[in-house]
Homo-oligomer: A and B are copies of this chain.
Amino acid sequence: MGIMRIGHIDINVLDINVSREYYVNIMGMNITREDSDGTLYLKCWDEWDKYSLILRPSDEATFNRVAYKVKNDSDIDDLKEKIEAYGIETEILPEGTIVECGRVLKFNAPSGHEFNLYAHKTFLGKDVGSTNPRPWPFEGRGIKAHWIDHVLLMCQGPEGVMASTKFFQEVLEFDLAEQVTVGPNGSLQAATWLSRTSTPHDVAFVAGPEIGMHHFAFFLDGWNDILRAADVMAMHNVKIDVTPQRHGITRGETIYFFDPSGHRLETFAGLGYLMQPDMPTITWTEDELWRGIFYHTGQENGAFTTAYTLSAYK
């Protein structure tokens, strides 16, 4: 089986108390663990594992790593072998090294980003339980985000995108849902969207000047939740970069906004389409690139190309 889905995002934030307030009351997450150094672990109401977000107090708002969950513990050994055969060094971190997790396979993708794979994390259950559950928690807070849906990582140029994309397809067995092609005969991938679930993307890569995280996204049900979320953000003076839009790519309904440290976030709504291994990859050509990103205007909007999070370890 191998990788199932995104497990958690690990980032550094500037003011842990401001961040706590933001992710709890506006994003609607729960604090499920707090370390003595101030590190916070949070989960969304519709997630069952102990956390999907780690916020570390820091004087830099940077990206540390992203973790994916594999189905079986043996997948860690299988993937370790495959990744090393591909020429990438790996390391096994013993159980507990990553808080509340079993052993972890650690490596850097060709684009330079650190990835962690794990098979076990402490189980907490959804807020609505698993016996005769309500469809949503009556006592939800803020935008009531369902789960952390995906991360878009910034790579150095199309070369970085293509290197990590090839690795994710060939070694980690992600499927390529969509791509933006540029350059002579569209021979370069400026951005790619890859999937392990049947949603359009569980990870994406985009070319940029530096190694970092462009954004990570919270899932919402649909377009009406997007309006409600934007209203909630306005009520709390959240800095919105791009107001409610349709993505051409993934068909998703979206808002881009920033957390108090300046990390770009997204609310992503809708299934988009049923992604499958045999679905023909969707290609956006260079002249329609912005139609792909922001479908309604087909033009660059906000600080899409200039505001992102640098990787902590360069």
Contacts and interface: CB of A to CB of B under 8 A. Distances in A.
Interface string A273-290: 110111111111100100
B245 A282 contact: no
By size class, the interface of chain A is 35 or more
A219 interface: yes
Interface string A78-118: 00000000000000000000000000000000000000000
Contact of A251 (B135, B230, B274): B135
A282 B248 CA distance: 34
Interface in A53-80: 69, 71
A252 to B, nearest CB: 9
Interface stretch (A14-22, A34-42, A208-216, A232-240): A232-240
Copies of this protein in the complex: 4
Given A231-B296, A278-B69, A296-B240, A291 B138 contact: no
B282 A130 contact: yes
A4 B276 contact: yes
A122 interface: no
Interface of A: 1, 4-5, 46, 48-49, 69, 71, 123, 125-126, 130-136, 138, 146-147, 197-199, 219, 221-224, 227, 230-235, 237, 240, 243-246, 248, 251, 253, 270-271, 273-274, 276-285, 288, 291-292, 294-298, 301
29 contacts: A4-B277, A4-B278, A46-B274, A48-B278, A48-B279, A48-B280, A49-B278, A130-B280, A132-B283, A132-B288, A132-B291, A135-B246, A135-B295, A138-B232, A198-B199, A199-B271, A221-B222, A221-B270, A222-B222, A222-B223, A223-B224, A233-B296, A234-B296, A234-B297, A234-B298, A237-B298, A240-B297, A244-B244, A244-B245
